[in-house]
Amino acid sequence: MRRIRLVALIGVVLLVALTGCTGNLVDEPATPEEPNTESTETTTTLDAVDGESVTVTVTRVIDGDTMAIEYPNGTEDTVRLLGVDTPETTLSRVSPDEFTGIPDTTAGHDHLFEWGEQATIFAEDELEGTQVQMVFDPDSDRRGYFGRLLVYLYVDGENFNERLLAEGYARMYDSQFSLRKKFAAVEQEAQASNVGLWEFQDSDTELDTDSATSDVEIPPLPSDGDYNCGDFETQEQAQYVLENESGDPHGLDGDGNGVACESLP
């Protein structure tokens, strides 16, 4: 009898000891970890820009200074490169007066139109499908007039906005941003060295306004920088854009037969 009591006592002691070590796992299951809801944005210092930074993927290049991007969570947005301006890729919108030394002549318009296309190709080669660091400038507005994010894009630590200036694909866009003085110096160096679009052989041929100006009224470019057929009232408007932009960047000619938005009146 005494042996039975001793065995029972030992069993109770062992049970108490075991419960103390395991912390009563049956009654109070472990709480699962909360998902990480912190923003992917951090503070960084690149080229003396102390602003928010986030890694994104460039999904599409609209033109030399406008891109569609995707965040890691799948959210999409459109960005406008801060502090730079590449020539327009629509001939009727080319503005030589914005580019120092480029005359308002047929040759001047054609020259800038060509370099607008070259800037788009350059941006596609360097950015499309690539993960980049997108940096906001605390001295600039977060979004521009058309609702696009105003940012710098960094590829392998190099400021792509600045590359556009240094390699003659863009002019400096005179606005408020931290790197304004640096960008101005880079632009001046490109101009002095006749780099890219700044290498222009002057022509005395005046612009043929009859051929350069159309009676077709084109609707303003949408906020995302990309037309679709629903933006036009007539097929003639869509056709004008198709014929004046190389490669149909807006996808207006879906079947590739040379006719834009065939369902429009």
- Residues serving a catalytic function are 80, 88, 148
Report whether 137 contacts 175 (CB < 8 A): no
In whole angstroms, give the CA distance from residue 65 to residue 220: 17
Cα-only R_g, the chain: 30
Query: Longest Cα pair distance anywhere in the chain, in angstroms?
Result: 123
Classify residue 261 as left (phi > 0), alpha (psi -120 to 50) or beta.
left
Residue pair 211/65 in contact (Cβ under 8 Å)? The answer is no
> Would you mind telling me the total number of residues written for the chain in this entry?
265
* DSSP tag of 143: B
Closest CA to 190 of 66, 82, 101, 122: 101
Q: What angle do CA 261, 220, 152 make, to 5 degrees?
A: 110
Torsion of CA 220, 249, 129, 165, to 10 degrees: -70
CA 229/CA 210 separation, integer angstroms: 27
Residue 258: which of 239, 245, 233 has the closest Cα? 239
The answer to whether 99 and 197 have CB atoms below 8 angstroms apart is: yes
